[in-house]
Structure 1
Amino acid sequence: MANPHAGEVDITLDGTLHTARLTLGALAELEASMQADSLVALVARFEGASYTTRDVIALLVAGLRGGGWHGTTRDLLHARIDGGPLEAARAAALLLGRAFG
C-alpha cells in the first residue's frame, strides 16, 4: 500500500499492485526521457494539461522504477493498467504532485 507522505502512488499492472515513487534517480531519468529543460518545466506541462501520452508513460516508468520495478517502457506499453488511460494519467499527475508537494 502506497504511503502518500513518502510520495508513493499505487499502480496495478496486469493485476499486480506496484508502488511507484519518484526518487532522485528516477527524476533524472525522467528529465532526460521527456527532454524537459528542468523539473519545473516538467511540472508545468502537467499543470497546464499540455502533456502527451508519451509523457504519462515516461513518468509512470520512472516512478515504477523508483519503486523497484524492473520493467521497461516496452513492458509498460504492453501492460494492462487497472483503470485504463485515465487512471494512468491520474497516477502520473499524483506522482509529480507528491514528489514536490
Structure 2
Amino acid sequence: MTFTDQQRPNARRGEIGATIDGQQKVLCLTLGALAELEAGLAANDLQGLAERFAGGRVSARDLITIIGAGLRGAGAQISDQDLAAMRIEGGLRGAADIAARLLRATFGDDR
C-alpha cells in the first residue's frame, strides 16, 4: 500500500491504512467515531463495545459499521450504504482484517 506523506496513517494517533475501492484510505476511531459505533451497534459504553468484539464474532453489518466509522473518523464523507457497495481488497477477510487492525489501534493489542 502506497501513501503520499500527507495521507500516510499515523499510528500514534490510532490511524491505520487500507485499500478500499482501489484507493488508499486512512481510518481512525476518534471519540466521535466511537460514539457512532456505540449507537450503531447498540452498545451502552466502550466496555460494551470491547465485550461485543472479544468473542471474535462479527456480522457483515458490524464490519461496515466499524470501517465506515473509521473512515468518517479520519475525515471521509461516506455513508455506510456507499461503503457497502465498494470493493475491499481481500474481500471479506480483508474487511475483517481492517476492522481488527482498527480496533487494535484504538483499544490496544490486548483486545
- What TM-score do the two structures reach when normalised by structure 2? 0.84
Decide which structure has the larger Cα Rg and report it: 2
Q: 2:71 aligns with which of 59, 64, 67?
A: 64
Cα deviations across residues 55-92 of structure 1 (Å, max 9, x unaligned)? Answer: 11101000000011101011111001111111111111
Cα distance in structure 2, aligned partners of 1:27 and 1:90 = 18
Structure 1 residue 4, shift from structure 2 partner: 2.1
Structure 1 residue 5, shift from structure 2 partner: 2.4
- Determine what percentage of the aligned residue pairs are the same residue: 46
2:104 equivalent in structure 1: 97
Which amino acid counterpart does residue 65 of structure 1 have in structure 2? Answer: R
Count of residue pairs brought into register by the alignment: 101
Q: Which has the higher contact order (CA 8 A, sep 6+)?
A: 1
Unaligned runs of 5+ in 2: 1-7
Structure 1 residue 37, shift from structure 2 partner: 1.8
Cα distance in structure 2, aligned partners of 1:85 and 1:9 = 18
Which stretch shows the higher mean deviation, 52-61 or 36-45? 36-45
Q: For 1:1-101, what aligned pairs fall within 5 Å after superposition? A: 1-101=8-108
Secondary structure of the residue aligned to 1:35 is coil
Unaligned runs of 5+ in 1: none
- What TM-score do the two structures reach when normalised by structure 1? 0.92
